[in-house]
């Protein structure tokens, strides 16, 4: 989603969010990510200013205090940015890919089933269409955020083709968007 994303070109407008909208977002986020609840005061502080960054292709990024924190496309689910995920790795469930897959993921490729079922990988049970963090064999930090295209069981049985869609990965356009003015 953010492969060819450049903050300067793809942002169409930044607006301050209304407090009622913020309330809605906060409730939605906590509903979607139960792991977020214990950190909600730190991640979603009440006093900070919330900005909604509207971008091309109907991408919306929520920035708190100038820092992009969550994003979504169209009416899809909100997803945390990788920088936030690195700080609070427990807010998302994760899948682990093997070593060989890392560089493909880092160049934006979707995660193929064999990369999730081989020896170096670990596949946790997850539903289709759920948001997961992608970790790598031998690494501490997650390298990508993805959307399960198949359920974990299906990945095991099919073992071919795309298993997780790569939405946001290290070194992509959103990663390089650190501050919002």
Partner 1 sequence: MAEPVEDIPVEEPEAEVEVPKKSKKKDKQDRANYPLKVNYCGVCSMPFEYCEYLADYDKCKRWWEEHFPDFFERAMKIGDGVDGEGDDPKKRQKRGGRGVIKAKKQVEKSKISVGRVTRNKKKFVTVVKGLETHGVSLKEAAKLFGRHFSCGSSVSGDEIVIQGDFVEDVMVLLVEKYPEIEEDDIEDIGKQKR
Contact set with partner 1 (CB under 8 A): 35, 38-39, 42, 86-90, 93-94, 96, 99-100, 102-104, 106-107, 122, 124-125, 135-141, 143, 170-171, 175-176, 181
Q: Given the complex with partner 1, which of 38 and 129 has the nearer CB atom?
A: 38
Cβ atoms of 148 and 164 within 8 Å: the answer is: yes
Q: Given the complex with partner 1, which of 102 and 145 has the nearer CB atom?
A: 102
């269409």: which residue's tokens? 129
Question: Which of 106, 92, 139, 104 has its CA nearest to residue 120?
Answer: 139
Q: Given the complex with partner 1, which of 55 and 143 has the nearer CB atom?
A: 143
Rounded least distance, CB 20 to partner 1, Å: 28
Beta carbons within 8 Å of 3's beta carbon, 6+ residues apart: 108, 172, 173
Rounded least distance, CB 112 to partner 1, Å: 12
Q: Given the complex with partner 1, which of 41 and 75 has the nearer CB atom?
A: 41
Which alpha helices (H) appear in 110-172, and where do they start and end? Answer: 114-117, 152-158
Sort strands 131-136 and 94-97 into parallel, antiparallel or unpaired: parallel
Burial of 151 (0-12, 13-18, 19+ CB in 10 A): middle
Rounded least distance, CB 87 to partner 1, Å: 4
Rounded least distance, CB 75 to partner 1, Å: 26
Q: Given the complex with partner 1, which of 76 and 93 has the nearer CB atom?
A: 93
Rounded least distance, CB 164 to partner 1, Å: 15
């Amino acid at each position: 989603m953010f492969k060819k994303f450049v903050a300067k070109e793809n942002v169409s407008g930044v607006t301050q969010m209304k407090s009622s909208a913020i309330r809605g977002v906060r409730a939605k986020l906590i509903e979607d990510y139960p792991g977020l609840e214990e950190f909600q005061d730190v991640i979603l502080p009440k006093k900070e200013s919330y900005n909604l960054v509207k971008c091309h292709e109907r991408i919306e990024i929520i920035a708190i205090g100038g820092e992009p924190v969550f994003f979504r496309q169209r009416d899809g689910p909100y997803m945390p940015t990788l920088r936030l995920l690195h700080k609070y790795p427990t807010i998302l469930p994760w899948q682990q890919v093997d070593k060989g897959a890392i560089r493909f993921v880092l160049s934006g490729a979707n995660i193929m089933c064999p990369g999730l079922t081989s020896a170096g990988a670990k596949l946790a049970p997850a539903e289709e269409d759920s948001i997961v963090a992608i970790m790598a064999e031998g690494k501490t930090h997650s390298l990508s955020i993805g959307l399960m295209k198949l359920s974990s069981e299906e990945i095991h049985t099919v073992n071919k083709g795309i298993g997780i869609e790569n939405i946001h990965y290290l070194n992509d356009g959103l990663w390089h968007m650190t501050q919002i003015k």
